[in-house]
Structure 1
């Protein structure tokens, strides 16, 4: 049975690691936490005392013979360096989104993982929720007719002053934090080959950090993707698909609680229908899927799909950054 275990190293003792990843890991059969690394030794020691494993430095963790896979939740600007070091050390890597802060860096990691036959995934947990497969099936069955528009929004209240998401040196900004979700959802529903037709970003005039944005993408067959995101909003997490026969909408699309039963609404000309779906623990399922790929052996076709998805997301993010008209707002970041 020992050979079936996956020994995790947690690189970055972040809030998401503490609130989401570690509780999920403890629920996955065959997964054990072997070590923690943090910029603060005291924090790593506290995590180890509470969850098991050993406190280590970053380099010790990626080189440890007791670690098979690394869960990486460092600040965005550090993802590339430490994912690369982990892959070079022969570790599988589950990296919190965004994988890196540039398309070039993501491409380098993708090539390295493919060359070394290691599992490398970007942790978009929402992709593991079965609600999206139900949506895809309804579209494929023709319930919406010919698809014309995909729209999505992900907005959250402003982080507190001093949050790392406001620090340009750490890969800050709403595009990399919440904007990547609607972009990844557009890829899921519309496929590869999306192009950025236009974008705008609202930025803090002092730091240049983007706090809100809007992008228009177009698929290869002419479907529009209208995407909104930001840090200046009440919470909203949704997408909708609009065809020439019906409109389908889904709320709480990206971060539903594990106990939440999704509600899909389908509106036709003279008829409305609602579907109540099963609840799902998407974060646990994301980590379990990754652990299974590590434990049972990577299936090349599946892992190539994950690598293509990460590379495509990075390409589109960079295209939004390059295309965007920037609107400056004084005092956009809380003081």
Structure 2
């Protein structure tokens, strides 16, 4: 069927699904077919909230013929299991980032999706916000000369240790939860040849997860990227490109609400300029993009390659890290 009529089921009643994804499904003009939870009470409460049919048990939702695709906002450690089940049931899959905890899992899932002729896409909604296209346009036009360094920072204070972010068995830790954003953003400018040169991870010894980190990346031409992230920081959500003749930065790079008009800043030796950009709904844009790709099998391979490369980079960041704490 065409992407326009895509019928989406939601596996899990996560907060991100309630706040962002379900409203975006409807804003994008798609059909929310059903929501599922492991418990009937939670499923019914979610169903009542969004006036949609509720299903008890993820398996039952995957059996439904009125579901063409599923959105998976479960803990990272459960992504591979339920994405596999969804693909085997013949459903396209939009999975929250990080899509997998390992590169091997990413390869298994993308191979299965390709074998079944289905789309597997990682839900990095920021990629579909118009502000990044504007940055790339300005860089390509020479606004800062040849880029020399990308810096990306995403961190926020998280004192509550009861969340899944502090449980290693659920795929917790700041690298997979927050670090994945600047690492993915770096690839907008460093491209497919990016590799990890080194990294640090600060550990919470009691919880057994990383709560802070920095990774140094580089591409084949020498453009470097410094990606910093964590849960032990004041809030920061930005990236910048430093070039031979200037610097360009975004003030709210990864999670701007649909009504926000982001500010882009250009700095040169004798010139500082701030441009207020147009508001954009990156969540609705992502759902439209996902739906459109389900109807274009030729575009699946590129999304699958991106998932594997991202997982491999995150795995390399963890594997090469000097740890403290």
* TM-score using structure 2 length: 0.96
The 3-state SS of whatever aligns with 2:220 is coil
Following the alignment from structure 2 to structure 1, what is the Cα–Cα distance between the partners of residues 125 and 8?
18
Offset, 1:110:
1.1
Work out whether residues 34 and 54 of structure 1, in 8 Å CA contact, stay in contact via their aligned partners in 2.
no
Following the alignment from structure 2 to structure 1, what is the Cα–Cα distance between the partners of residues 35 and 242?
46
- Listed one character per residue, the Cα deviations across residues 30-55 of structure 1 (whole Å, up to 9, x for unaligned) are x2222222122211111122221231
The 3-state SS of whatever aligns with 1:142 is coil
Offset, 1:154:
0.1
Tell me what 1:18 maps to. Answer: 18
Tell me what 2:301 maps to. Answer: 304
Count of paired positions: 324
Tell me what 2:279 maps to. Answer: 279
Offset, 1:56:
3.1
Matches within 5 A, 1:201-220: 201-220=201-220
- Listed one character per residue, the Cα deviations across residues 184-219 of structure 1 (whole Å, up to 9, x for unaligned) are 000112101211111010001123200000111111
The 3-state SS of whatever aligns with 2:31 is strand
Runs of 4+ in 1 over 4 A off after TM superposition: 1-4
Following the alignment from structure 2 to structure 1, what is the Cα–Cα distance between the partners of residues 236 and 309?
25
- Listed one character per residue, the Cα deviations across residues 281-320 of structure 1 (whole Å, up to 9, x for unaligned) are 11111112112323xx1241x3322211111110000000
Q: Indicate whether 1:46 and 2:45 are aligned.
A: yes
Q: Indicate whether 1:248 and 2:248 are aligned.
A: yes
Following the alignment from structure 2 to structure 1, what is the Cα–Cα distance between the partners of residues 63 and 213?
39
Following the alignment from structure 2 to structure 1, what is the Cα–Cα distance between the partners of residues 207 and 81?
24
Work out whether residues 87 and 112 of structure 1, in 8 Å CA contact, stay in contact via their aligned partners in 2.
yes
Tell me what 1:33 maps to. Answer: 32
Matches within 5 A, 1:1-335: 5-29=5-29, 31-51=30-50, 52-294=52-294, 297-300=295-298, 302-328=299-325
Work out whether residues 118 and 298 of structure 1, in 8 Å CA contact, stay in contact via their aligned partners in 2.
no
Work out whether residues 9 and 33 of structure 1, in 8 Å CA contact, stay in contact via their aligned partners in 2.
yes
Distance 1:3 1:114, change over 3 A: closer
Following the alignment from structure 1 to structure 2, what is the Cα–Cα distance between the partners of residues 265 and 50?
40
Unpaired runs of 5+ residues, structure 2, are: none
Following the alignment from structure 2 to structure 1, what is the Cα–Cα distance between the partners of residues 2 and 81?
31
* TM-score using structure 1 length: 0.93
Offset, 1:161:
2.6
Offset, 1:179:
0.3
- Listed one character per residue, the Cα deviations across residues 101-158 of structure 1 (whole Å, up to 9, x for unaligned) are 1000011111111222211110000000010011111111112111110001000111
What is the Cα-based RMSD across aligned positions, in Å?
1.6
Offset, 1:4:
5.0
Following the alignment from structure 1 to structure 2, what is the Cα–Cα distance between the partners of residues 195 and 98?
18
Following the alignment from structure 1 to structure 2, what is the Cα–Cα distance between the partners of residues 205 and 4?
48
Unpaired runs of 5+ residues, structure 1, are: 329-335
Distance 1:197 1:88, change over 3 A: same
Following the alignment from structure 1 to structure 2, what is the Cα–Cα distance between the partners of residues 243 and 183?
19
